[in-house]
Each structure stands twice: as structure tokens, then as C-alpha cells.
Amino acid sequence: MNTLTPHSVSVITGGGRGIGRAVALRMALETAVIVVGRIEADLLSACAEIAAAGGQAVHVVGDVRDRETAQRAVALARAKGWTVRNLVCNAGIGKSGPFETFDPTLWQEILDVNLNGAFHFCQACLPEMLADGGTICLMSSIAGLKGYAHDAAYDASKHALVGLARSLAQEFGKRGISVVPICPGFVEGHMTERTVRGVMTRRGMTHEEATARVAHANPQRRIIPEAEIAEAVAFVCSGKVPSLSGNPLVLSGGE
Ligand SMILES: NC(=O)c1ccc[n+]([C@@H]2O[C@H](COP(=O)([O-])OP(=O)(O)OC[C@H]3O[C@@H](n4cnc5c(N)ncnc54)[C@H](OP(=O)(O)O)[C@@H]3O)[C@@H](O)[C@H]2O)c1
């Protein structure tokens, strides 16, 4: 369904750091890679790491909230003679706070980056993918399947990504496109570190105690390594199991 060629490329938003960077490094073992983000130094360093490992990577500096960022990524792929075969909409932000006083500007920003960014990239890349088939992974979260207090904006955006994936799977399934929402629990990196620091502040815990509390949310009592999420994305993008399409891939160790 998703036969890769030497001209295939994977587009990864938020590919300069965190989970997106791990996905970019892993996908570079399969295809050329375009990493997208706002901080050029991070993108350049991801590309350099991929090149050092023998892969091919280029970057696009831009905000996923702007439609033209997605259009520039597709234009770059064309200029390189590449065909977009995999799209990983990973760029995301999360900010917590009580719903009653939640800043409407922040609400809009979270929805714009997490949901509208994915909309722009899916719309820009789909025409390229329809010719030969392809895979879209939408980086949702366990918060895309269940609710958490003080996280309404993030949870709403991540639930919406699951809905978007389900809808696109229905609309494009018979045209060779798989769309899978990826739903991790707590993963190592900046975002979870912010959660740990929040727990330290709210509960007066040490860093070690707060980390253990966050890890406790996973029945395996661990925070998931970024590389594990990247491996799951690579498996989905291998196209070996097209029936994954439209179904959340839950990477949480159990609920
Ligand atoms: N960490 C977790 O525990 C966890 C669990 C479940 C799901 N997730 C999801 O996984 C994804 C990656 O999370 P992470 O932990 O790797 O977070 P992170 O380290 O904070 O990285 C976020 C990435 O998104 C990019 N980004 C943010 N806003 C952007 C914008 N407006 N335009 C373009 N790029 C933007 C950032 O790049 P720039 O700063 O260069 O723009 C960065 O590469 C997110 O969607 C997150 O919700 C994370």
C-alpha cells in the first residue's frame, strides 16, 4: 500500500527536538526527511545528525499555524524531486490551567498549533500522497482519549486530532492513504519535564518524587523513551498493517 522509493520523503513537523526529532532520525533510515519548526538551530542540528548517520534531511523554518509553511515544505519536496509519502504532524504545545480563568488567547494558540497546524499540513501534503499512497500520523496523546483536570485546551485539541484521523481514514482509505492518531502517555523530554515541575510546585515534592509520581501514571512505572514513539511511527509508516488506519495507536503501557 505504501511502497517506498529512493524519491520518497517523510515530512515531520516539530522535527528539530523532542519526539519529532526522534521520529525524524528514525524515519531517515527509511526515506529522505523534511523537518519543520520555528527554531532553525534545532532543525539544522537534526539535519546534521541525520547526515552524519548517512541519511538525507532538509529543513523548513516556519510556524505550523501558517498555511504557507506547509506549502513551502511541499514545494521543497518537489524542488528536490521527492514525493511526500509520510507525514507526521507532531508539532504541539500544551499549557495547563483552571478552565474558569483560562486565557482565551492561549486557548486559541493551543488549538491553532495542535489542530489547525495538522489541518494545513494534511491539506498541503494529501495531493502529493494520493498519487502513490501514503501514511499520515497525527501526534495526539493519551489526552486525546481521556480528560484531565486543568488541561481542557490540550485535551480538546488532542481529541480533535483523533477525530480528524478517523474522518480522513474514512474519506481517503480507498485511495491508499492510512491516517493513524498516535496516543502516547508521558514521554521523556521538555513537555513531561514541565509536568514534573508543575507537580513539584503543587505538591511540594522533590524532582525525584515528582518524576516518580508522573511515571506512576504508566502501569510499567516508567516515562516512555522518545525512541519508542519513533519506532511505533516507523512501523505505522512501513505500511505493513494498513488496517491500523483510523484507529488510535495507544502507547501508554496500559490504562
Ligand atoms: N512529551 C509527552 O509526554 C507527550 C505525550 C503525548 C503526546 N505528546 C505530543 O507529542 C508532540 C511532541 O511533543 P514533545 O514532548 O516532543 O514536545 P517539545 O519537546 O516541546 O517539542 C515540541 C515541538 O513542536 C514544535 N512546535 C511547537 N509549536 C510550533 C509551531 N507553532 N510551529 C512549528 N513547530 C512548533 C517545536 O519546534 P519549534 O520550537 O522549533 O517550533 C518542537 O519541535 C506534541 O504534539 C505533544 O503534544 C507529547
* Ligand 1 neighbour 14 (Cβ under 6 A): yes
> How many domains does the chain fold into?
2
* Ligand 1 neighbour 181 (Cβ under 6 A): no
- Assess whether 12 and 123 both reside in one domain: yes
- C-beta separation of 230 from 19 below 8 A: yes
- Give residue-wise pLDDT tens across range 77-96: 999 999 999 999 999 999 99
Q: How many degrees, rounded to 5, is the angle at CA 55 between CA 22 and CA 37? A: 45
Distance 204 CA to ligand 1 centre (A): 27
Which residues are known to be catalytic? Answer: 154
- Assess whether 230 and 214 both reside in one domain: no
Question: Distance (Å, rounded) from C-alpha 127 to C-alpha 77?
Answer: 13
Nearest to 188, CA basis, from 12, 22, 28: 22
Task: Give the total residue count for the chain.
Answer: 255
* Ligand 1 neighbour 89 (Cβ under 6 A): no
- Assess whether 143 and 204 both reside in one domain: no
Question: Distance (Å, rounded) from C-alpha 2 to C-alpha 179?
Answer: 12
Whether 252 maps to a domain, the answer reads no
Whether 166 maps to a domain, the answer reads yes
Q: Which residues of the chain have pLDDT under 70?
A: 1-3
- Assess whether 20 and 93 both reside in one domain: yes
* Ligand 1 neighbour 162 (Cβ under 6 A): no
Strand pairing category for 32-37 and 8-13: parallel
The pLDDT of residue 5: 80
Q: For residue 227, which amino acid is it?
A: A
Q: Residue 104 sits in a domain of what CATH number?
A: 3.40.50.720
The pLDDT of residue 48: 98
Whether 245 maps to a domain, the answer reads no
Nearest to 178, CA basis, from 136, 220, 150: 136
Whether 64 maps to a domain, the answer reads yes
Whether 246 maps to a domain, the answer reads no
Q: How many degrees, rounded to 5, is the angle at CA 230 between CA 186 and CA 223? A: 20
Strand pairing category for 57-61 and 83-89: unpaired
Nearest residue (CA) to ligand 1, atom 13? 19
Nearest residue (CA) to ligand 1, atom 47? 92
Question: Distance (Å, rounded) from C-alpha 115 to C-alpha 223?
Answer: 25
Q: 127 exposed, middle or buried (CB, 10 Å; 0-12, 13-18, 19+)?
A: exposed
- C-beta separation of 237 from 9 below 8 A: no
Distance 227 CA to ligand 1 centre (A): 15
- Give residue-wise pLDDT tens across range 50-80: 999 999 999 999 999 999 999 999 999 999 9
Distance 13 CA to ligand 1 centre (A): 9
* Ligand 1 neighbour 141 (Cβ under 6 A): yes
Question: Distance (Å, rounded) from C-alpha 10 to C-alpha 169?
Answer: 19
* Ligand 1 neighbour 144 (Cβ under 6 A): no
Nearest to 221, CA basis, from 191, 185, 177: 185
Distance 183 CA to ligand 1 centre (A): 14
Strand pairing category for 8-13 and 134-139: unpaired
- Assess whether 193 and 110 both reside in one domain: no
Per DSSP, the residues of 75-104 read: HHHHHTT-EEEEEEE---------GGG--H
The pLDDT of residue 3: 66
* Host H or E run for residue 202: helix 190-203
Phi/psi class of residue 68: alpha, beta or left (left: φ > 0; alpha: ψ in -120 to 50)? alpha
Nearest residue (CA) to ligand 1, atom 42? 14
The pLDDT of residue 136: 98
The model's pTM: 0.97
Question: Distance (Å, rounded) from C-alpha 146 to C-alpha 69?
Answer: 31
The pLDDT of residue 6: 78
Structural domain span for residue 231: 8-185+226-240
